[in-house]
Amino acid sequence: MDHSIELFGKTLSNPLMPASGCFAFGQEAATYQDLGLWGALISKTVTLEPRLGNPPPRVVETPSGLLNAIGLQNPGIDRFLCDQLPFMRTHHPAVIVNIAGNSVDDYVQLCERLQDQDIFAIELNLSCPNVKKGGMALGTSPELIRQVTAACKGVVDFPLIAKLTPNVTDIVSCALAAQEGGADAVSLVNTFLGMAIDLNTRRPVLQNNTGGLSGPCIKPLALRMVAQVYQAVDIPIIGLGGIQTGRDVLEFMLAGARVVQIGSANFADVHLAHRVLEEVQESREKLQISSWDTWIGGLNYWKS
């Protein structure tokens, strides 16, 4: 069965992508899997300058999930363009670069550096603190989301994806702001803010005190947000949050996601892409899903 799907006017081999931050730049994964199994590759977040990230401990397992406070460790845009991007391009025709900054100008500069590169799209990580707004996370303000997206849209020809934080009271207004700013798609959702505590030390386990919660425990929350936003926006949704099986993929697509990203599940299964594609095949045959377009957003709600 053909699992290909159209996104931004181009055809991807399937709707699966590794979520940013859970796959690095694919170099380690390439030693044990064919990176071409993914519909597209997404880079770890790239910033203007290199970042060492937060001090350890910065990762801890929780029931049905994973808390991380890595701190966007990355080599910076210069090294990325010289070392990591060429590697990704040789292993996959569709590369999405995830970027982050502490101000609107940071995002614009990164987009300008990427404008002449052979990439598929840019994903804006909008969960970072805006230093010019007193540390407020960019993604918690619809107005800042609109500003960042519009500013980036003005300097690149690539499709722009706004990756939104779920740590807001109204995810729909944030998604609409991204659409108004010119985003070509939204990624829903990034990690939820959480904490783990060590009773012996009476301290948070993570030295950052809090971290981003991912894994199957957030799936119901992410599904709800995808379904809500699908009813409000006109641009594609990229769904993520706790996906680890083929059935999870189909659930997100039924809720309204056009394609999906798989994150922390990659740490538990090095052959995840191959397995999930097989499970997608089995589920499509069982449910007689002949076309993605007849399935995406086809959720039947109970009448109130």
In a 3-state reduction of DSSP, which class is residue 121?
A: strand
Measured CA to CA, the distance from residue 287 to residue 290 in angstroms comes to 9
Q: Are 18 and 266 in contact (CB under 8 A)?
A: yes
CB distance 102 to 128 below 8 Å: yes
Strand partners, 7: 10
Q: Which residue has the tokens 């990659």?
A: 266
The reply to whether 82 belongs to the active site is: no
**What is the spatial distance between Cα 22 and Cα 214, in angstroms, rounded to a whole number?**
10
Helical packing angle, 219-230 and 171-180, nearest 10°:
50
Q: In the structure, how many helices (H) and strands (E) does the chain have? A: 8, 18
Q: What SS3 state is found at 154?
A: coil
Own/partner contacts of 202-207, CB < 8 Å, gap of 24 or more, are: 205/57, 205/60, 205/67, 206/54, 206/57, 206/58, 206/59, 206/60, 206/67, 206/69, 207/54, 207/55, 207/56, 207/57, 207/58, 207/69
In 115-218, which residue ranges form alpha helices assigned H by DSSP? Answer: 142-153, 171-180
* Cβ atoms of 184 and 161 closer than 8 Å: yes
Q: Which of 22, 82, 111, 128 is catalytic?
A: 128
Give the Cα separation of 35 and 27 in Å (integer).
9
Cα–Cα distance measured from residue 74 to residue 85, given in angstroms and rounded to the nearest whole number: 13
- Which token pair is 56? 């350890």
Which residues are identified as catalytic? Answer: 128
